[in-house]
Structure 1
Amino acid sequence: MTDNAELKRLAIAAPAGPWYQHGGIKQVVDRDCEAVCETFEEDGDCPTARFIAAANPAVVLALLDDLDEARNGMKYACGLRLKKEIDRLRDENEELRAQIGRAQIVELANFDWDAELTALRKNAERYEVLRQADLDTIHNGGLFAGLTPENVVVNGGELDVLVDAVIASRKEPQP
């Protein structure tokens, strides 16, 4: 990458343009016909001298100004494109959130609450059978909840405490 600040400083410090190179002369001169440089090319076609004359300080300064303007325009254009993309993504995000919200409402509206309530009641009824089992059920026969290795029947509040402990232990991360 070029050092544009240094190039600008040199262009300002150089003799003012425009510069000229006439025919087969290997010198570049300023508007006062003062020699700016000599290329040491063979007389005749002097492409280096013609290029140097064409790249005079006024042209270099104009090119640097054009470059700065283009860069600023690109930054502005990039900023605009970025803002448009952010706005588009924000709108898309809002629409997706709205769609998700509508889908959840539809899902909840279509949920079979009666079936869920019936299943919960049935599970509660089953659990209540275990809670009410007689402590002698292990000897008399029947359905019961037991605690091992003690081999005892548990019921009522004690069963609730033990079931809650098992549920809690299943939620704890296992090593």
Structure 2
Amino acid sequence: SIQVTPKKGARVDAVIDEIRELIRRRHGLGYDKPDDFAINTQETLRDIYKNITRVAYIVMIAVAAISLLVGGIGIMNIMLVAVAERTREIGLRKALGATNRVILWQFLLESVLLAAVGGLIGVGLGIGIAKIAGALGHLKSAAPFWIILLGVGFSGGVGIFFGIYPASRAAKLNPIEALRYE
């Protein structure tokens, strides 16, 4: 690798042409043969860096989306198990006057809290890993507070979305059947 810094005021295109001609002569390349070397300018390297950054950004979004989906399905499964295990409790609460709406809100709130706690744990792990990476290398990272709130809010939204089905199943339970459930 050869690094060249042109003098101030020099035309970069002209310098590149001179370098290309010199290397082609030294490599014995005729006019009909392609270059067997590459010349990269700061603009080329900047474009490569932008492309790598864009791909990394897309990959991170895809990983985050898959993680949210898997986490949401996990929350839904946990809440469905909770409804099944607490069927008698739901029946008793309904027999004592709890409305479908109250039961729905109870299970929906549990789902949101479960997701929000998971989001807070994820934020904590992310901050910890970023601090460790910063201490070990030259990487500096900072997350504005609104990003942290957005992440926890997204987690709560996942809890709502994936908690609606189990909560509605709990709310629709027939109290008589629920009390008979073993």
Task: Please tell me the TM-score bracket, short chain as reference.
Answer: 0.3 to 0.5
Report the structure, 1 or 2, having the larger helix content.
2
Q: Which protein shows a greater Rg?
A: 1
Q: Which has the higher strand share?
A: 1
Higher relative contact order by CA 8 Å / sep ≥ 6: 1 or 2? Answer: 2
